[in-house]
Amino acid sequence: MAEFLWEIGCEEIPAAMLADGVRYFAEAMENQLQKAGLYQPGVTQIESQGTPRRLMVSVLEMANLQADHVEEMRGPPVARAFDSQGKPTKAAEGFARSCGVGVAELKHLETPKGAYLCHTIHRPGQGASQLLPGMMATVLEGFGWPKTQRWGSGRMRFVRPINWMVAVLDGKIVDFSTVDGLKAGDQTQGHRFMARGPFRVFDRESFSQAMVAGRVILEMKTRQEMIETGVHRLAAQAGGRAMVLGELLRENANLTEWPLPLLGHFDPSYLAIPPEVLTTSMKNHQKYFPVEDAHGALIPCFIAISNTEVPDPSLVIQGYERVLRARLEDAAFYWEEDRKLPLESRLDSLKKVVFQAKLGSLYDKTMRIVRLATRLAEMAGSRVNPDHVVSGARVCKCDLVSGMVGQFPELQGVMGGYYAQHDGAPPQVVQAIREHYRPQGAADGLPISLEGRLLSMADKLDTLVGCFGIGLVPTGTKDPFALRRAALGIIRMMLDDGRLRLHWGELCAWAYDSFPPGMLENTKRQTVDSLIAFFFGRLQHHLKTDGFDHDLIDAVQVLGLDDFHDVGQRVRALDQFRKLPSYGALVAANKRIANILQKAGEDWRNHSLDAAAFADAAEGDLKEHLDAVATTVQSAVRSGAYDEALDHLARLRPAIDAFFDRVLVMDPDPSKRLNRLALLARVRDAFQTVADVSRLSAPEG
């Protein structure tokens, strides 16, 4: 068994890329070891760690030698390998040359198809020291960094310039060089300022000792725990509690090798600025942790994470405070200046801001949002005040031309709400403006108010229809207008809120008409059809993420519905239906019915069911049971109680089973055949009031 350690030392890796780089390093190394036959399942241990300046992978208990490889090469048939006088033909001679032997050394292999020439090649396994350089080159080239760079006159590309490399196998340096000639060695570097090194290493244990001596916390998880503990301790000392977000915690851990939390303060007068401005300045721009009191109000201090331990940390803290003070001073200025003008007075300024070259300005988009929001408010009825929705729509984009949002783009919508509140707008309008960008991602919360949801839908729908109308459809990983996110936001709002039963095909068509004639290149039909298909693709993905199987979604989607809330309710009902004891038999029966009706042709469609023509009691019994549940099922479907409807339909199972056991559907008598087909069509139609059950998968086993 062998032990291998590999470290790549480089300039600071961007924090957002470090975790993926560490993960790839371990996975790629394991993959290469498996291909080479050096990986021992259940025995070999692979660990990868990283800091901003280094990536490390260690392999314990790997095989130090490949198993010997035996390869049997098959040549031409013996009948073609020798002529009538027993001399080798060109085929035999050519095969022997390819094997590196003479014809006399070839053997015969008997097979069911006859005898063939063959040769067995024994290749001794290579040692790990011979194999590792090639494996390392493959791993190094395969890092999937979002962005890479070259440095100096070299040809190599990596996330940041590589300064040193350690590669040792059982204490000996592996003979490996990068394409730019950087040779692997056995000396690593410590912290850039506190203990530079170098430190000589032989294995994983000595490397860990070198990191301790070099003042480097190698394990990412340990750095996070140190930061979290220190941040909470300092916040408590300041009389508050830290706002510790997982993303900010991970980012600081990925920015440091020796994290040291430090408590800083700012002038309490800045607390007059909206708290979102303060927290955005601290978290997003400076990577500081804000501190709040027991009631959730900010207090004038923060916690920054230093990467260096110094004798007098007060000098470092002063630097952190000075940088934040400059940010907050700008924010205070814009907070005062922006409020000197009413929010609506900025509406004309949106004419100078291009939304999309073919879709006009932000002013044009705003006017379309107003029209869409008006329509949505009408559809919502008495549950919402349409004046509030329209008022919010008129000014929802105005803060984009404010000084504050120019400095803090993350606060679009939020600042619009504050400025509308300053102008005396009703609370419903203020909240709608604040919420209309939500949700901005799968993890973002939905708008709370109905006004906010309507405004959010209008904004997102305008973007979707406009982009699809000019052919800007997401492809692969490219989605510059975040159309997938916009569609998912609408879907999440629809699934969450049963108060709005909107038909999106009709609404998309109406949104298309909001654009001036000729602005959109695709026809209305093309745009709406492709957009509805896009919506259903996102809906399927969302429901599958929530744990619903694809066949449940397909069984509902085939009905051609475009009320997403209704679709979601039906899928959930089918998920419960799957748990019934009769599920398997009913699915099988519906599949059988679908196949029979499909193969029967079109002649049964216009046939009226005639109970007097039933020739078997099982026919009448099935119709009687179908009539008994029909009213209840229809009532349940109208009220959206699909689980109740399916529960009643499940009671048809005995009658359906008896029908198929006793009745020949495709009777030679045309009248009996058509009557029975019409009866089966009624059974199918009853189930399809909820979903096409024939598309559901049969239970396993």
> What is the rounded distance in angstroms from the CA atom of residue 361 to the CA atom of residue 352?
7
Under DSSP, the state recorded for 101 is S
Helix (H) or strand (E) segment spanning residue 277? helix 275-279
- pLDDT, tens digit (0-9, with 9 covering 90-100), for 79-136: 888 888 888 998 988 998 888 888 888 888 888 888 998 998 887 888 889 999 999 9
Contacts of 541 (CB under 8 A, 6+ apart): 488
Residue 179, pLDDT score: 87
pLDDT value at 198 more than 90: yes
> What is the rounded distance in angstroms from the CA atom of residue 203 to the CA atom of residue 5?
6
CATH topology of domain 2-65+127-213: Alpha-Beta Plaits (3.30.70)
pLDDT value at 701 more than 60: no
Q: Which residues of 264-292 are buried (b: 16+ CB within 10 A; e: fewer)?
A: bebeeebeebbebbbbbbbbeebebbbbb
Helix (H) or strand (E) segment spanning residue 60? strand 54-62
CA distances from 677 to 34, 478, 649, 664, 681 (A): 59, 50, 19, 11, 6
Residue 663, pLDDT score: 86
- In whole numbers, what is the pLDDT of the chain averaged over residues? 91
Residue 10: Cβ within 10 Å count? 18
Q: Which has more pLDDT, 282 or 106? A: 282
Residue 343: Cβ within 10 Å count? 25
pLDDT value at 498 more than 80: no
Among 91-105, 184-198, 514-528, which is the least confidently predicted range?
91-105
Q: CA 152, 157, 159, 164 torsion: positive or negative? A: negative
Q: Which of 535, 513, 504, 436 is nearest to 469 (CA)?
A: 513
pLDDT value at 673 more than 90: no
- What ranges do the domains of the chain cover? 2-65+127-213, 70-123, 224-338, 367-404+415-547, 570-695
CA distances from 505 to 59, 580, 607 (A): 57, 34, 33
> What is the rounded distance in angstroms from the CA atom of residue 514 to the CA atom of residue 395?
18
Beta carbons of 169 and 129 less than 8 angstroms apart: yes
User: CA Rg, the chain, in Å?
Assistant: 35
| Total-model pTM | 0.80
| Confidence category of residue 307, pLDDT binned at 50, 70, 90 | very high
- pLDDT, tens digit (0-9, with 9 covering 90-100), for 247-270: 999 999 999 999 999 999 999 999
Pick the CATH number of 570-695 from 3.30.2420, 1.10.3210, 1.10.730, 1.10.10: 1.10.730
